Amino acid sequence: MSAPLALSFVKSASDHRQLGDSDAEIALIGRSNVGKSSLINALAQRTKLARTSKTPGATQLLNVYVLADPERAASRPDAAERQRWLVDLPGYGFAKLSKNRQTQMANMINAYLQERDQVDHAMVLIDANVGPTELDIQTIDWLRHIELPFHVVGTKVDKIKPSKRGKQQQTAAATIGLASGDVTWVSAAKGTGIGELRQVVHRLLTD
């Protein structure tokens, strides 16, 4: 497994215009309770970096995590650190929130993805055990419409019997118009696929 990503929480905002400058950003997208916070913790191999909750809709802001480059810092200690961000967006679905709050959060997400120049990639999380939901498919279709490149991650793969994982991955990928190799299957709880996903995140933020 690759080394844990050197992620640190830096700020939250209710509007992308409050975020300031960065060099590159990946937007982390998924429905409520798909496991975004658990995945961030697994990527960094830290238990409390991102707040986890059993209540859908707990994340209601744009939460920014910066990726440090320890090797670069060691070789060029006086150089300014590049601002490479993983931005955790509120989960769509928002089942426990008022209609007004749901609309506010949807507008915040849409504005961030369409108006924030630094966002050059999205990472869409789907529940591997459930498969792509209608909201997942709508989100992916919308990302295609706005021409924002994306990578799909299936979470909670440990909930699927090993003998059924390959077939379920193929079915999920076909449902959203991708090859099975274009979907990374992971389990934050068991560590499955986390090393591979760390490499994907690092590559997207540093290329």
Confirm or reject CATH 1.10.1200.10 for domain 7-206, answering yes or no: no
pTM here is 0.90
What are the extents of the domains in the chain?
Answer: 7-206
Determine the average pLDDT of the residues in 42-55: 83
Query: Residues 113-158: pLDDT tens digits?
Result: 999 999 999 999 999 999 999 999 999 999 999 999 999 999 999 9
Residue 78 has a pLDDT of 47
pLDDT at 106 over 60: yes
Render pLDDT for 163-188 as a digit per residue (tens, 0 to 9).
Answer: 999 999 999 999 999 998 899 999 99
Instruction: Render 132-188 in DSSP notation, one character per residue.
Output: --HHHHHHHHHHHHTT--EEEEEE-GGGS-HHHHHHHHHHHHHHTT--GGGEEE--T
| pLDDT higher than threshold 80 for residue 94 | no
Phi, psi at residue 145, to the nearest 5°? Answer: -65, -40
